[in-house]
Structure 1
Amino acid sequence: MINSIIKLAFGIEYDGTHYCGWQRQREANSVQEELERAIAKVANHVIDVVCAGRTDAGVHAIGQVIHFETKSERKDISWIRGVNSYLPADIVVRWVKVMPNAFHARFSAVSRSYRYIIYNHPYHRPAIFSSGMTYYDDFLDIDKMQRSAKCLLGENDFTSFRSSQCQSKSPKRYMMDLTVTRHGLYVIIDIQANSFVHRMVRNIVGSLIEVGCGHQPENWIGNILLRKDRQLAAGTAYAQGLYLMLVRYPLHYEVPQSSIEDFFLIPLLS
């Protein structure tokens, strides 16, 4: 009897510090390669995975979603425990779900949410969790940052905030939310959009920092957006403060989703 093909979705969490990014590359260690190797050992055949969002080198994920096809049948707990036993300590499978054939980790997604964490202290950088946040010494005025970010909401041409290596056919994206909050010495920037052009989040954060520290006026972000020129915006913010937090899908797929607020840093910082 020939086993039918099953499509599985995994929820993935990883610390991107020691990886060249999500995507498999020659002579470099990637998250994708580690996952495919581990899943293949449990499935007993070669695996190709597709992810919801390809993160850059040093970027982390709490809510990455992948899918792959297999003829191997395992209990959910066997997939999770089996794959995790072959993964390095900085990558973990959080959940597994059998999906219909129509599901696609990338193209079925309706939005992605990212979080950027800044340690904002005038004298010293953090020693604990230093790879999980960016350090900035000048005081950041989150009210100015929030007001300047309003122009980014809705559908816009984000040419000014995408990298020159971006391969996307269109620079237009729809941003649902951008919120800047402070938790003591920590500034948190949450951004949700239908999708993102290459390095869009980090380029936006870099420019918001310029406004927050007073180097640029509040209307600067809006002017940059309208000019559609990457050279006018600030430099790209560091990778280590960025997390892919949540990928949302149509409700009928019933994809398991943890609240962004479950992320351990928020209870600790509040």
Structure 2
Amino acid sequence: MRNIALIVSYDGTDYSGFQSQPGGNTIQDKLEQVISKLTGERVRLMGSGRTDAGVHARCQVVNFETSSTIPIERWAIALSTRLPNDIVVQSAYSVPDHFHSRRDALSKTYRYTINCNRMPDLFRRRYEFHHPTPLDLEAMRAGAAHLVGEHDFTSFTSPLSTKPSHVRTILETKLVHETRTEAEGLYANPIYNREWDERHYPGKTRGVIHLYVTGTGFLYNMVRIIAGTLIQIGESKIAPEAMPGILAARNRARSGPTAIPQGLSLWEVVYEHLPSGQ
């Protein structure tokens, strides 16, 4: 038997998440079906982590055992040509028998994207949350900094979480500002200009904000709740200095809303001896 790892990218818009479930229509279901057709075997994939319905992945890592003799360099193209167009196997690797895509992950990074331009981006609307008013980027950065380290993240997980412990370690948070030309710039209403924004939204930023959160493990809805809370900080509804108190409360009601799924992507998974897809 061989143990094979795949780096997989997918648009999760039309799927019920990564992990197989009775209703089907998951990324895991599609991958297992295609691998089984290719090899004639029933395989069971292990993923580096779950993604919810509507959430995407730039770098999801999976592994499975097979007795197939297909050369490793042919796996990616053989699978990608048989998969739906919104799932792509980027690369394949032979890994040691003991490799486990979830347990062996050293860290994972998620990215949440917020479009603060007045109009949504037609061509990226599946991959970002449209917030039509500017946000206070520096306040969001200050709030996010309080999340770094080992904390009990009960305030930042769904009450449906079944994990026995909500203690997790965040290694880094980063907010990156991308200036993107607005679609309405071709026919811009002159009343909506930079001076108007500065007068009505002082100290706040338009453009696109990418939130990156890197940690050793995450809870159900954790990154989306972090994103929702930081958006409220950017709206000046919550002070950045309130974040330690929100953590200490261990109460979901103290944090912000769960941000919509399409803005979230599993961005990178790091292992000791496997390329991360970076």
TM-score, structure 2 as length reference = 0.88
Residue 252 of structure 2 aligns with an amino acid whose one-letter code is R
Which of 1 and 2 has greater Rg?
2
> Using the alignment, how far apart are the partners of 2:7 and 2:120 within structure 1?
32
What is the CA-CA distance between 1:11 and the residue it aligns to? Answer: 0.4
Q: What residue is the counterpart of 1:255 in the other structure?
A: 274
Check conservation: 1:9, 1:68, Cα contact below 8 A. yes
Question: Which ranges in structure 2 are unaligned for 5 or more consecutive residues?
Answer: 180-206
> Where does residue 110 of structure 2 map in the other structure?
114
2:137 to 116, 138, 142: 142
**Structure 1: gaps spanning 5 or more residues:** 260-270
The structural deviation recorded for 1:28 is 3.7
Which one of 3, 7, 19 corresponds to residue 15 of structure 2?
A: 19
Dislocated runs of 4+, deviation >3 Å: none
**Residue in 1 aligned with 2:235?**
213
Secondary structure of the corresponding residue to residue 66 of structure 1:
strand
**In 2, distance between residues paired with 1:77 and 1:44?**
19
2:211 aligned partner: 189
CA distance in 1, matches of 2:159, 2:69: 43
Deviation at 1:238, TM superposition (A): 0.7
The answer to whether the aligner puts 1:130 opposite 2:111 as a matched pair is: no
Identity %: 33
1:46-65 alignment runs, 5 A limit:
46-65=42-61
Is the Cα contact below 8 Å between 1:118 and 1:186 reproduced in 2?
yes
- Contact kept, 8 Å, 1:38 with 1:84, in 2: the verdict is no
Q: Is the 8 A contact 2:109 2:266 kept in 1?
A: yes
Q: Distance in 2 between matches of 1:214 and 1:167?
A: 32
Equivalent residue in structure 2 for 1:237, among 256, 259, 277: 259
State how 1:50-89 maps to structure 2 within 5 Å: 50-89=46-85
What does residue 263 of structure 1 align with? none
Are residue 8 (structure 1) and residue 4 (structure 2) matched?
Answer: yes
Structure 1 distance, partners of 2:267, 2:248, is 28
2:266 is aligned with 1:226: no
Q: Number of matched residues?
A: 251
Provide, for residues 18-63 of structure 1, a one-character-per-residue CA deviation record: whole Å limited to 9, x for no partner: 0000111223410000000011111211110000010000000011
1:110 and 1:92 map into 2 onto residues whose CA distance is 23
The 1-side partners of 2:217 and 2:35 are apart by 27
Q: Aligned-pair distance for 1:77?
A: 3.0
CA distance in 2, matches of 1:244, 1:27: 23
Instruction: Give the TM-score, by structure 1 length.
Output: 0.91
What letter matches 1:130 in structure 2?
A: R
Q: Contact conserved, 1:142 with 1:181, CA < 8 A, in 2?
A: no
Please point out which of 126, 144, 151 is paired with 2:146. 151
- Secondary structure of 1:124's match? coil
- Return the alpha-carbon distance in structure 1 between the equivalents of residues 133 and 24 of structure 2: 35
SS at match of 1:219: helix
Q: 1:28 and 1:139 mapped to 2: Cα distance?
A: 39
Give 1:208 shift: 0.3
8 Å Cα contact 1:6/1:98 also seen in 2: yes
Following superposition, the deviation at residue 80 of structure 1 comes to 1.4
The AA in structure 2 aligned to 1:207 is: T
The corresponding residue for 1:175 is 170
